[in-house]
Amino acid sequence: MTTTPGRRRVAAATTTAALLLPLAACGSNEEQPAGKSAPSSGARLTVLAAASLTDVFETAGAAYEKEHPGTKVTFSFAGSQELAAQVKQGAPADVLVTADTRTMDGLGDETGTPTVIAKNRLVIATEEGNPKKIGGLEDLTDPGLKVVLAAPEVPVGRYSEQVLDARKLTVKPVSQEPSVRAVLSKVELGEADAGIVYRTDAATVPDKIDAVDIPDAQNAVASYPAATLRQSGDGKAATAFVKWLSTPAAQKILRAAGFQQP
């Protein structure tokens, strides 16, 4: 059968429309299941997180990637004060999670509204078996002990000062470290008899150090706020991740690691 030019144009238009229909469906804004965030497909997120979140965020990141196929989450862990310096210097990142609200509040022009996702408490880390028989904060004043603390500008260092000052205790540390993990490492390697760390950090190496509890009345509560960074290259994906940290799935992971409810 002979096809006229007019008929060919109609056929071509019909074929083009048919091809475009599936593409339009793929690009539609389908409603997401309740409780699930929807970062853009193929999102690449960089999260700056406090050193004390190292182990739990590796687990949380894997869970997030499984729940959001195509998304890749990369973490950079350090003391909160170091992370703040990186943000101020314009380091490429999407989300920030610190171990205190003070550091986060100091970055108000650089972040979105923060949300506290977890809390923590302090313990005294000692060598395995607690050979020095350390029983509480008062014992850390013994000049014969090698005590290591985090530096005052580090959140855990500031919390340590807070609990010691409240009891009018003077401790002269042999060193002041840049992060809670550095304090833990000193004790773990036998370079210090004791150090003050977060309860969750001590729990990561139960076969290498002992944790001496500090009573709640003498303790400090550390809050962990999370916020998007204004310099993020994918604000939608960053917002989705921060929201996810407060979901039951993420909170279950945090609780299992010993973090307290926000």
DSSP summary character for residue 210: E
**DSSP conformation letters of 110-164:** TB---EEEEEEEEEEEEETT-TT---SGGGGG-TTS-EEEE-TTSHHHHHHHHHH
246 Cβ partners below 8 Å, 6+ apart?
A: 115, 117, 262
User: Could you tell me which CATH class the domain 44-119+223-256 is placed in?
Assistant: alpha beta
Q: What is the pLDDT of residue 28?
A: 34
Among 16-25, 34-43, 117-126, 196-205, name the one with the lowest average pLDDT: 16-25
Among residues 232, 257, 262, which one has the least CA distance to residue 246? Answer: 262
What pLDDT does 42 receive? 77
Share of the chain above pLDDT 90, in %: 84
CA atoms within 13 A on the CB side of 230: 10
The answer to whether 210 touches 128, Cβ cutoff 8 Å, is yes
- pTM for the model stands at 0.82
Segment 23-56, tens digit of pLDDT: 333 333 333 333 344 444 579 999 999 999 999 9
User: DSSP secondary-structure letter at 82?
Assistant: H
Beta-strand relationship, 115-127 and 194-198? antiparallel
- Portions of the chain given CATH number 3.40.190.10: 44-119+223-256, 121-221
Q: Which residue has the tokens 């313990």?
A: 123
Dig out the tokens for 229 from the structure: 């960074």
Do the strands 175-177 and 147-150 form a parallel or antiparallel pair, or are they unpaired?
Answer: parallel
- Let me know if domain 121-221 sits in CATH 3.40.640.10: no
Tokens, residue 141: 């004043």
